[in-house]
A and B are shown apart, each in its own frame.
Chain A
Amino acid sequence: MTDQGYTAAKAEHPAYEGDTIWTEQEPLIDRIPRWLAMTGLMVLILGIWFGLTATGLVSPIILPGPGETWDDIVFVGRNMVTGGYVLEAMWTTSRTVLYAFALATALGFSLGVLVGETKFGERAVMPYLVAIDTMPKVAFAPLFIAWLGFGISSKVALATFIATFPIVVSTAAGLYAASENERMLFKSIGATRMQTLLRLKLPTGLPYFFTGLKIAAVGVMAGAITGEFLGGGEGVGALIRVSASQLNTPRVFSLIIYLSFLGLALFLMVVWLERTLVFWRKSDKPSGMG
């Protein structure tokens, strides 16, 4: 724009003399603090629950009221604190879950490295893994019971079977995650294949691996409880089945709630481990970029 043009434009639009202050408005629903939002939602759900049961709209056998359920949660809690049968069931299920999780991690990681690092694994093993993964794995439960009996091992087997696959897939994906430049760097400084695997590909793949572990942590719970439903034994799953058959619905609810603590504990353990090991992911900036 020429000087003249600028002067002309300015004359046409006289300058606004005051400060320009304005605030951006966030919608009301986004400004509710988290604690209030969570409490509000909880109150709403409890209210509907209470309404449905107190008015007799829903039979207490199908859905017990919040008060009744709370009483049972307290009862089961007391039982556990005093070392009653629920504590023993919890202990059995916890052991099942932990054994299966450890086994699935070891098995999934090894198979993942085989698939992700070797051509043989990628070409020969992976197709079979995909094929097995598409099967409904719970259907294998009767087989595991037939092979391993009604004890804890058949449940561990089923839970391991369910939880292994996500770890295999995520480990293998993690090994592919190192960039072309990084591979070239390692090659150019004379790294052996093992060095490249241990010092580059595995650390790069850690976040992927942990994604698999989180899925497995959920799967292992489902597997253990399903195993206990179908194979009896002493776990919480068996208690739930018995309670349900006795129409003791509040008991079913409170057992599920205590189980969810177990699942949550396992999940949080994985999250904590990830934060500790993948410490460099704290900042979201990709490495070496401006």
Chain B
Amino acid sequence: MSQAVKMDSRREGPAVARPVYQIERMSKSFGAFRALRDVNLTLNKGEFGAVIGSSGCGKSTLLKIMAGLMPPSSGRVVLAGKPVLGPRRDIGMMFQQATLLPWKTTLENVLLPIEIRDGKAAARDAAGRARDLLELVGIGRAEKVYPGELSGGMAQRASICRMLISEPEVLLLDEPFSALDELTRDFMNMELQRICLERHATAFLVTHSIPEAVILADRIYIMQANPGHVAEIVDIDLPRPRNLDMINTPKFGEIVHYIREKLGQEAFGT
């Protein structure tokens, strides 16, 4: 399925670090409840960021604000130099479930964002690009199939294509493979890495799986609750492209251990 692809090295020298997504002093309250306090975050072009934290630490709220689905209470949220004031074409999003519409074929599902934003004619024009994307994620043959006949992994591949079709500046991933079984999830994570490297994509992942965050991310934001804030930033300097064998290396274990300690501190109040 995954053909060998040429991968250009991820960073063309350390000098070019163009910030794509910037969040400064951002807070969010729901009435008296403070969900997020003073979050600062910068995603550079081609960088893979991840946020990890226990449930209730505000990571989903953070992602919704980043996606323009919810306004912040204060602070700056800026994507590609423009403030995020609502859902935007240059934001691609992926959810826990594939969320494909059962009455549309795989291809039509991929084209949904175009159809909604630009109409049916534009969607027809983009069909070629959608087919290329399906090819890229290895389900080119499923274009005419309805989602009811796709496996969980294939459905998530289709939803990756739907996220990529509008060529977003940033990919926001909300525990994208958490509904899949573990074998499929590992495989899909590697696929995700391959796609991100190939397209030089900037991505931001929300997860509660430490190994998943470590294997995918360049930088991990550890969040703690009450109120939600970034407690620590961990840079992961494992080489790219990463593979599943790295999970068994001592270095990987060390990083996972370190993050677990940090998260444990919050959970048990030590």
Q: Is the CB of B116 within 8 A of A191?
A: yes
Q: For B86, what are the chain A residues with a Cβ–Cβ distance below 8 Å?
A: 190
A185 located at the interface, meaning its Cβ lies under 8 Å from any Cβ of chain B in the complex: yes
- B residues with a Cβ closer than 8 A to A are 67-69, 86-89, 91, 93, 95-103, 112-113, 116-117, 146-153, 155-156, 159, 166, 179-181, 184
* CA A199 to CA B114, docked complex, whole Å: 13
B116 in complex: contacting residue of A190, A203, A281, A290, CB < 8 Å: A190
A-B contact pairs, 7 of them (CB 8 A): A179-B97, A280-B103, A285-B149, A287-B155, A288-B99, A290-B153, A290-B180
**CA A187 to CA B70, docked complex, whole Å:** 10
Q: Which of A187, A188, A286 has the most CB of B within 10 A?
A: A188
Say whether A11 faces chain B, with CB atoms less than 8 Å apart: no
- Taking CB atoms, residues of chain B closer than 8 Å to A289 are 97-98, 152, 155, 179
Bound-state Cα–Cα, A181 to B96, Å = 8
Instruction: Give A contacts to B, CB under 8 Å.
Output: 179, 181-182, 184-191, 195, 199-200, 203, 279-283, 285-290
A191 to B69, CA, bound (A): 12
With A179-B99, A182-B99 known as contacts, the answer to whether A287 contacts B116 (CB < 8 A) is no
Cross-chain contact A290 with B87 (CB below 8 angstroms):
no
Give A179 Cβ to nearest chain B Cβ, in Å: 7
Residues of B within 8 A of A282 (CB): 148
Chain A residues with CB below 8 A from B146, complex form = 280
Known contacts A200-B101, A288-B100; 5 additional CB pairs below 8 A are A181-B95, A181-B99, A188-B69, A189-B112, A191-B116
The chain A residue sitting closest to B172, CB to CB, is A188
- Which chain B positions have C-beta within 8 A of A281? 102
**Is B152's CB under 8 angstroms from A184's CB?**
no
- Nearest-neighbor residue (CB-CB) of B179 within chain A: A289
**Residue from B87, B103, B156, B159 within 8 A of A203 (CB atoms):** B103
Q: Which of B98, B99, B146, B152 has the most CB of A within 10 A?
A: B99
Q: How far is the CA of A4 from the CA of B112 in the complex (A)?
A: 62
| Chain B minimum-CB-distance residue to A282 | B148
Most buried by B among A186, A190, A203: A190
Q: Which residues of A contact B99 (CB under 8 A)?
A: 179, 181-182, 185, 288
